[in-house]
Amino acid sequence: MLDGVHGIQHRYIQLSNTKSTPLVASRIDHAPGAPPVSGEPSEYSQRQAWAATPTATIDPRLSLAHPGYGLPQKLVANLLSLCIKSIYPWQKACLLGPGLLNGERNLVYSAPTGGGKSLVADLLMLKRVMEDRDAKAILVLPYVALVQEKVRWLRNVVSGISRRDLDQIDEDDKKGSFWAPRADKDTIRVVGFFGGSKIRAAWADFDVAVCTIEKANSLVNTAIEDCTISKLRAVVLDELHMIDDGHRGYLLELLTTKLLCLGQPIQIIGMSATLSNIELLKNWLEAHSYETHYRPIPIHEHLVYDGKIYAAETNASLLKTLTQLGSAPGSSAGQSPQPLRIIKPSAHKELQYPVRNAVVALADETVRAGHGVLIFSSSRIGCESDALLLSQVLPGPEETDPAIQEKRQDLLGNLRSLTTGLDPKLEKTIPFGVAFHPKAYDDGILKACVATCSLAAGINLPARRVILNNARMGRNLVGPAMLRQMRGRAGRKGKDEVGETYLCCGKQDLENVIDLMHADLPELALLEIIAIRLATSRESIDHYVTKTLLYQSAEPDSIHQTVNTSITRLQELELIKVDDFEDEIQATQLGKAIVASSLEPEDGIFIHTELKRALQAIVLDGEMHVLYQFTPVQDLSEVTVDWSAFLNEVQQLDDSSHRVMSFLGLSPGVINSMALGGTMSEATAEQRETVRRYHRFYLALQLRDLCNEVPVHRVAEKFNMHRGSVQRLAETCQGFAAGMVRFCETMGWGAMAAILDHFSDRLKAGARADLLALAKITFVKSRTARILWDNGFKTVASIANADPQELLPVLMQAQPNKVKLGATDEQKLCDKLLLKAKVMVDSANRLWQSELLEERWAFEEE
């Protein structure tokens, strides 16, 4: 059944992992009159070793060693060691486009996921870096996991390359000042920037920066302000389709527009698996464009509706199918399309809903054929429901290869040892090969990976089949960018020989999915370019506007009106000052602080009000007031508060925390009234801010528990929150905390910045203050740190000077309670923990040596 008007299809399904009354997945039959379907898929292994690209053909330019590409021999050798023996014909044609190899032209291109599109950008970017010892490059990716993966890849690509030894550098050039001996610049340094790190990146820290969109934007802002941006020679915008994203697309456009306004030779390389507006982007970037539909792995796309599977090989055919299905009988849309296969209805009550029945049937068919399947569910609760349901129909432990089953038990053991503990639901699903665990899935331990789009979009998870369980992710429809990202996971070279995607759609979302295929471009943002002084007058703003993507697609009068409206609004919010007589526009201190902390203007103003309150009287005899300042403010309206749980926590607060509530204007009486079924008015702006404070304090109480070593699952149970939501809070608050520190520094509130900076370490460690030093040691999380402390290992030095054998009993104690192991398994565990103990001792030694050096330097300075 559907939940409410939002069409979220999942209710939590209570299932056990016993097979006393087993569920059976529905049969999928060939549809009468449909064209014949190809035979059974060929033999498959998720870890089958394939070369990343095919062997060279008779065309010598398909070899990267060809002199026309001007690549050093060491770089070609590194790529060869990574199984890139040659390039595809489309890659050759793209690289040899006019002005690309020498950096004179920008490039925007589209190539399917798995077709080798990243290699083109990597080569162009590295050529720019290797041409000039001072050159810098930035590679922009949307997700942290992609940044981490790309950093590892690029470090392997440039390993052992010295700028002194590049083949194409003439001896005469080496004698000039450009090649003056600088030992620290010989290697190509690849550095990743993401998350809530307190370290401020400078050009001196890297040659190639791999960044999230937010970090890249911050890096460019800093370089513009301190005038070091002139060293930038290349910027790669991977996943350029993210420019359509409703939340982060504007930032990607803003970053690109700033680069276009600089008037210096920066080669911009934009790419994506699907760019429906490639001509528009080409004009915007003044770029050469290239488009290919080549994929080394064929992909078959399908739409599943009302138990029927339809072909949808392209966006156009999908749109046509949706339109025909959504039209009334006899309408102008034409006859209904012919299905390829039909999924039989299920007799089980858990599978009565056609979408859920289709997902289970398709996943079961995939796994029983020996393949991997990736399922995107609409929410975290939906993931749990789908995983539990699948565990009822997939082959059980008794039907699984004993070697695989042993690895699944090892995985369960590893998860139990984590600080957060093992989720009871995973205890049920992992023995049946179902969970969200990318590495275990990639290793073939799991066959079905169930995730939300936000969890899996940034991780390389190829699958034989990708199934979208409805077009909704959370309350909203997935955006076009995320839809393409998910579909792009099907069938990857070296992993499978074919790929299939299935969008399982309910009747209520049919029209919405049609709208999904047509996305508007983001609007214009001005505050940031004023804050970094890239535009300081109406004239310079007009010049900036001509470089925006909006300028390529809207009428001039409309753009002019948008600019005036934006400037007026920023003035009203007191984020900029406009001197019409001098034609000068500048950001206020608050405007600069909002930009520095990467906040939306409305959220920044709310934070400003909150921090000004705290400056008047911050409560420091407890931790609640500081933790409240670290609690993220984005999307607070979507926080579901269990007012009874809230009331229970408030009744147990100490005097310090009650003073914080009073200072924030929060009343236990209001919380009691809400717990009894009352409501809070949100008619005025002041009332809406009050509601935000209640929601924020509710999250701050959860953050307090997380910082005091309470496991995630217990916090979730206490506050009646989903475990994933609590985990996301723990992750989000680290980046938000770093933003709050920058906000205070920009506002000139040094003392407040220092207080927040001190507490941010506790957020990262998830531990009390006494464990912060221990938590810096490799493998030591809050739970292990507490057990070490309780056993007398209270300092880094004590662990650095310990024998690994001494730590073994402590690590055994840190293992969760479980059934008694046999002698062989017990020895395996001891060996594994001993290796971990050795790594911990080595890590502690490095930290201890650093501490000794710092003490020595401090002593010498005195």
The model's pLDDT over 505-532, given as tens digits with 9 standing for 90+, comes to 877 666 666 555 443 333 346 888 888 8
- Does pLDDT of 19 surpass 60? no
Kindly report the CATH number that applies to the domain delimited by 297-516: 3.40.50.300
- What value does the mean pLDDT of the chain take? 77
Most confident option among 126-130, 310-314, 716-720: 126-130
- CATH entry, 596-766, from 2.60.120.620, 1.10.10.10, 1.10.3380.30, 1.10.3720.10: 1.10.3380.30
Kindly report the CATH number that applies to the domain delimited by 527-587: 1.10.10.10
- Does pLDDT of 12 surpass 60? no
Q: How confident is the model at residue 331 (pLDDT cuts 50, 70, 90)?
A: very low
* Interatomic CA distance for residues 503 and 524, integer angstroms: 33
* Interatomic CA distance for residues 626 and 761, integer angstroms: 13
- Does pLDDT of 140 surpass 90? yes
For range 241-246, the mean pLDDT: 74
pLDDT of 418:
65
pLDDT of 490:
67
Rounded alpha-carbon distances, angstroms, from residue 486 to 46, 81, 340, 453: 18, 30, 23, 7
* Interatomic CA distance for residues 86 and 116, integer angstroms: 11
Q: What is the pLDDT of residues 808-823, one digit of tens each?
A: 888 887 776 544 455 5
pLDDT of 674:
92
With tokens 């590495």, the residue in question is: 439
For range 718-739, the mean pLDDT: 78
**Contact in structure between 396 and 16 (CB atoms under 8 Å):** no
**Contact in structure between 513 and 477 (CB atoms under 8 Å):** yes
pLDDT of 428:
87
To the nearest 10°, the Cα dihedral for 663, 664, 668, 669?
100
Most confident option among 22-31, 51-60, 182-191, 453-462: 22-31
Q: How confident is the model at residue 549 (pLDDT cuts 50, 70, 90)?
A: confident
List CB contacts of 82: < 8 A, sequence separation 6 or more: 52, 153, 156, 157
For range 314-343, the mean pLDDT: 64
pLDDT of 459:
59
Within a 10 A sphere around the Cβ of 821, how many other Cβ atoms? Answer: 12
Q: What is the pLDDT of residues 426-448, one digit of tens each?
A: 888 989 989 887 778 878 889 99
- Does pLDDT of 17 surpass 80? no
What's the distance, CA 756 to chain centroid?
25
- Does pLDDT of 45 surpass 70? no
331-340, 602-611, 832-841: range with lowest mean pLDDT: 331-340
Q: What is the pLDDT of residues 46-76, one digit of tens each?
A: 333 333 344 455 688 888 989 989 999 899 9
**Contact in structure between 91 and 119 (CB atoms under 8 Å):** yes
pLDDT of 56:
52
Q: Return the percentage of the chain with pLDDT > 90, whole number.
A: 15
- CATH entry, 98-291, from 3.40.50.720, 3.40.190.10, 3.30.1330.10, 3.40.50.300: 3.40.50.300
Higher pLDDT, 326 or 385: 385
Which helix or strand (DSSP H or E) is residue 139 part of? strand 136-141
For range 838-844, the mean pLDDT: 84
641-655, 669-683, 816-830: range with lowest mean pLDDT: 816-830
List CB contacts of 717: < 8 A, sequence separation 6 or more: none
pLDDT of 491:
64
Q: Return the percentage of the chain with pLDDT > 70, whole number.
A: 74
pLDDT of 116:
82
For range 546-560, the mean pLDDT: 76
pLDDT of 40:
42
* Interatomic CA distance for residues 256 and 237, integer angstroms: 9
* Interatomic CA distance for residues 384 and 362, integer angstroms: 18
